[in-house]
Structure 1
């Protein structure tokens, strides 16, 4: 796929005007980093102050009608009935036959008759397709991928940035407000993918540029920065957050990813329930762990992991240089029997690099502040 074939967000002109390095991300041409510091400075801004991200490539869909919540509950892993409006909830769409993860997504519980969904960019069409196949009569399912933008405001000063624009703050984690800005509808949700306190704003597609410009101005007093998806990846890896296609996939189930906390095991049904329950009871599948590199070396996805005897015990699913720790970190699927604190080696381009098994997060952050 060439750059001319890629989709662009409503903020594309803002990114090119800033000289952003652009790349393919889930079929969308998105900013990876901006001049003037790149990933390291952007990462630091979010951990210490504030940064804003364009994540409009994320999907959007809505289920409307009587029984909308019950339908979503019968599709996805988490139990939406454990929360009430206006709350958002992390969940997964699993394959009925294998339990593999088709996608992980956020569902916004607006009312019993309306659930707004934000899947991953590349998986939105497939999630919507699978839901349409099961859609009961009387329910409406609409793919709204190009109707809304998503702008993440993340970092310890995020409250102050939103307050500058007169937007509501102080939300409980995973709650949201259906509000307005300059007379235009806007959803403000206390969510994020960085580990820091922050918000994700969902404006209409046509309102995104004005909101972005206002946020850029509002964060200047706090030395905030526009941030690309490169920093978003280092931030989420430091927290041990899963990325679909890496820690979650059609071959990696919620059990393997240690995402059982997002599964409503007591629900009567959801896609993949039986196979996931059997896998959970069997306790033989590989599990996700963190790896802290000792010495020099940056592990990447696909690197093999070996135990002290040189026996292969797993594979790296994500790896990076941690800007906070100034050392390599990784997430990996490892055989059962390993334990926190065990020493392993990672094959990084043919060179054995030592690492210690750890439980993420790798850093402390303020997501629940």
Structure 2
């Protein structure tokens, strides 16, 4: 067994990753693969954009809400409107604070009116579950709200060849984007239950596959072999971050946090504004009406240099207009890119600069995504 730092959790595939040359790093309290030998982040990123990549994201949380009125209850808590979707569909939504800021962003799988499955972020799972349990107790509702963090693994199969990999393994493919199926798959002659959703975090056609924790290695090894046969490769969280930044997708702790609202972050589309209630609604609605004090924008470097998170965004006269929330080198563009929270006076096309350790890096304000979205319906 490879050494794991004290207090850090690990997923069901830890030994597989180590045996396959993964560089491991802590993320959200979990030790996860950052990249593998054989090309690193750029190679893995390119595989996802051109063929197919396979990510282990089992550090993501899992939780369940079950019982009469489970979905109606969740709809009174979470930001998006579950009334817009039907059983067999998933929805991106937010758990907000009373101040309208973001405790977490998560995916809600609607199985039935009395059965909802949630995938929050790793570090925030306990907080989301506790908030839901507190709301349940305050209402006196008889609902089972359970932290299932270590009951299931989660894999992301992403890229233009992802459907071919699914077909090669005989795995069911949900009909449309953000739809899912609960199915029994036959892998190595064994019937295994899986939840498969047409979604992802890369901008490519793809699937998120949820096996039971104890079945995770069997499912992963079958997927990894099929991915390799299709010319793809396993990919780590380094490539996942460059891919999602190219798409302008928010990451909690960067574009979303308990100090940032959905209006500021540009994810107001994940808010059911017409609903009677959700956590933080009154404060958030007031901010939307008055106008947020900050807004999220994309920044494209016009000079050689790699933007980083947490650096000041400067105007023409050197005034600080905001700060970057994410920054990286885009392998697809061969250019530096960043996401930033800036003063609402900033407009598309503005020429600004980033203060990187005293050096000014020129950037242009653009609207993400930085690369063309290739998710198909």
> Which residue of the partner structure matches residue 109 of structure 2?
108
Cα RMSD (Å) of the superposition?
Answer: 0.9
Asked whether the equivalents of residues 47 and 365 of structure 1 are also in contact (C-alpha less than 8 Å), the reply is no
Asked whether the equivalents of residues 171 and 185 of structure 2 are also in contact (C-alpha less than 8 Å), the reply is yes
Shift of 1:171: 2.3
Deviations 1:343-365 (A, max 9, x none): 00100111000000000000013
> Could you tell me how far apart the structure 2 residues matched to 1:137 and 1:285 are?
38
Deviations 1:247-295 (A, max 9, x none): 0000110000011100000000000000000000111410000000011
What pairs up with 1:1-369 in 2 under 5 angstroms? 3-96=5-98, 98-135=99-136, 136-169=140-173, 171-182=175-186, 183-369=191-377
TM-score, length-scaled by structure 2: 0.96
TM-score, length-scaled by structure 1: 0.98
Asked whether the equivalents of residues 200 and 207 of structure 2 are also in contact (C-alpha less than 8 Å), the reply is yes
The alignment partner of 1:216 has SS state of: helix
> Could you tell me how far apart the structure 2 residues matched to 1:216 and 1:262 are?
33
Shift of 1:5: 2.1
The alignment partner of 1:42 has SS state of: helix
Query: Runs of 5+ in structure 2 lacking a partner?
Result: none
Deviations 1:70-114 (A, max 9, x none): 111011000000010100000000001x11100000000000000
The alignment partner of 1:320 has SS state of: strand
> Could you tell me how far apart the structure 2 residues matched to 1:125 and 1:238 are?
30
> Could you tell me how far apart the structure 2 residues matched to 1:6 and 1:274 are?
38
The alignment partner of 1:107 has SS state of: strand
The alignment partner of 2:264 has SS state of: coil
Asked whether the equivalents of residues 45 and 155 of structure 1 are also in contact (C-alpha less than 8 Å), the reply is yes
Asked whether the equivalents of residues 60 and 149 of structure 2 are also in contact (C-alpha less than 8 Å), the reply is yes
> Could you tell me how far apart the structure 1 residues matched to 2:215 and 2:292 are?
50
Shift of 1:310: 1.2
Shift of 1:170: 5.2
> Could you tell me how far apart the structure 2 residues matched to 1:346 and 1:165 are?
47
Q: How many residues align?
A: 367
The alignment partner of 1:171 has SS state of: coil
